Amino acid sequence: QVQLVESGGGVVQPGRSLRLSCATSGFTFSSYGMHWVRQAPGKGLEWVAVIWYDGSNKFYADSVKGRFTISRDNSKNTLYLQMNSLRAEDTAVYYCARRLHTIDYWGQGTLVTVSS
C-alpha cells in the first residue's frame, strides 16, 4: 500500500535551517509529482511547494520562496524540503503528499517548531 513517512521535524531557533525528508513506498515514486503542505497549529492547510516527477519543475508558495527548496532522489524514493532562514510563522505540521493535480495520499506529518 502507498506509504509516505515524514521525518526531520523538531524545535529550531529563528534564522536556522532544517531539512525534512519523506520516505515513500508502495508505488513508483519516479512517476509522481510530489508536494509539501503545511498546517500551522489550529489553522488551515497551506500549500508550500511542488516538484515534478523528474525534478524538472519546482514551484513555491510566495511565503517560502527564496528560503525553502524542494528536491527529490528517485533512486531512494525520497522527497526533501530544505528550510533556511526559518521564522516563527513557519511553525507547523509539514505533510508530504502525492500526485500533481490532485493530492491523493498524505503522510502523517512532522512538526516543526521555530522558537528561541
Partner 1 sequence: QSALTQPASVSGSPGQSITISCTGTSSDVGGYNYVSWYQQHPGKAPKLMIYDVSNRPSGVSTRFSGSKSGNTASLTISGLQAEDEADYYCSSYTSSNTPYVFGTGTKVTVL
- Interface with partner 1 by CB under 8 A: which range of 7-15, 20-28, 56-64, 79-87? 56-64
Yes or no: say if 27 and 85 are a contact pair by the CB < 8 Å rule.
Answer: no
> From CA 58, how far away is CA 4, in angstroms rounded?
20
| Binding span for partner 1 by CB under 8 A among 8-16, 21-29, 41-49, 74-82 | 41-49
End-to-end CA distance of the chain: 40
Cβ-contact 60, 47 below 8 angstroms: no
Would you count residue 46 as binding partner 1 (CB under 8 A)? yes
Does 72 participate in binding partner 1 (rule CB under 8 A)? no
**CB of 80 vs partner 1, minimal distance in Å:** 18
Position 22, amino acid? C
Choose, by CB under 8 A, the member of 5, 23, 61, 111 that binds partner 1. Answer: 61
Please give the Cα distance from 101 to 27 (Å, whole number): 17
Integer Rg of the chain from CA: 13
Q: Which of 21, 23, 53, 105 forms a contact with partner 1 (CB under 8 A)? A: 105
Interface residues with partner 1 (CB under 8 A) are 35, 37, 44-47, 50, 59-62, 95, 101-109
